[in-house]
Amino acid sequence: MRLNAYLARAGIASRRGADDLIKAGRVLVNGEPGQLNTFVESRDRVTVDGTPVSLQRLTYLLLHKPAGVVTTARDPQGRPTVVDLVPKEPRVVPVGRLDADTTGVLLMTNDGPLAHRLAHPRYEIEKVYEAEVGGRPAEDVLRALREGVELEDGITAPAKVRRVGDHRIELTIHEGRNRQVKRMFEAVGHPVRSLHRSLYAGLTVQGLAPGKWRPLTRAEIQRLHS
C-alpha cells in the first residue's frame, strides 16, 4: 500500500494531507524518512512525529445527506460538513461530491481503492437523480437529455430520463462531472430548483431520514466490490 494511502486509512489525514506530511519529513517508515513513492507492508513500522500509527478497520457508511451541508472533510467558511454527521472513528470520507443544496445518497468510507474505482468514469457507476425544475419540460427536451447535451466540457453521455411530475424529472447518468445534472437542465432551459440523489451504485436512502446514517450490510459491501 502506498504510504499516503496507508496514512489515510490510519485516519491521520486525507491522501493530499498525507503527501504534505511526507514531504515535510514528519513520517518515518522503519526509522527512515518516508517518500511519496514509499510502499508499506504489514511488517513495516510507521510513525508520524514519532507516534506509531496503524490501520483502522475498513468502514462503509451510507448517509442521507441533508441540504445545507457540504460534502468535504473541512470547510474554510465554517459550514457544517458531512463528516460532522457520522462517527469520528474510524475516520471516513465521502465518495464523490454533492452540492450543498443537493440531498440524498452519499457513501462514506476509508476504503481508498474502492472509493477510487467508484469515482472512476470507466466503471460507469449508475446514479439516479430526481430534479424539480422550472417550467414543464417538453418531450423534445427530454429527448435531448437522453441523447446528450452539449456543455462547455463536451457533450454528455446518453442518459435515462423519466417524467415523474409536471416539474419533476428522474435522470439516470453514469458520468461524474462537476454540477453535471444542474448544468444539463440549465442547457435545455429548465434550471433545477431542487435536486435529490435517490440511488448511487445500487444504494438508496429508503427508510433513512435526512442527516441520518447506517453501516452498509455485508451483502452491500460485497456488491460494491464486485
What CATH number does the domain containing 102 carry? 3.30.70.580
pTM as predicted = 0.83
Q: What is the mean pLDDT of residues 78-103?
A: 93
CATH of the domain at 40: 3.10.290.10
Cβ count near 159 (within 10 Å): 20
210 and 117 together in one domain: yes
Domain housing 147? 126-200
Q: How many domains does one find in the chain?
A: 3
The 10s digit of each residue's pLDDT in 150-185 is 999 999 999 999 999 999 999 999 998 899 999 999
**pLDDT score, position 172:** 97
Give the span between the Cα atoms of 59 and 90, in whole angstroms: 7
Q: Is the pLDDT score of 226 beyond 90?
A: no
114 and 143 together in one domain: no
Cβ count near 67 (within 10 Å): 16
196 and 132 together in one domain: yes
90 and 183 together in one domain: no
Residue 149 neighbours by CB under 8 Å, 6+ apart = 155, 156, 184, 187, 188
Q: Is the pLDDT score of 136 beyond 90?
A: yes
Active site residue 20: no
pLDDT category at 63 given cuts 50, 70, 90 is: very high
One-letter amino acid at 180 equals Q
The 10s digit of each residue's pLDDT in 74-87 is 888 889 999 999 99
pLDDT category at 122 given cuts 50, 70, 90 is: confident
Catalytic residue among 75, 99, 111, 166: 99
117 and 164 together in one domain: no
142 and 116 together in one domain: no
Of 3-12, 168-177, 194-203, the range with the lowest mean pLDDT is: 3-12
DSSP conformation class of 195? E
65 and 99 together in one domain: yes
Q: Do 56 and 91 meet the contact criterion of CB atoms below 8 Å apart?
A: yes
Alpha helices by DSSP H, listed for the chain, are 3-9, 15-23, 112-119, 139-147, 180-187, 218-225
DSSP character string of 96-148: S---TT-EEEEEEES-HHHHHHHHSGGG---EEEEEEESS---HHHHHHHHH-
pLDDT category at 217 given cuts 50, 70, 90 is: very high
**pLDDT score, position 23:** 96
**pLDDT score, position 80:** 94
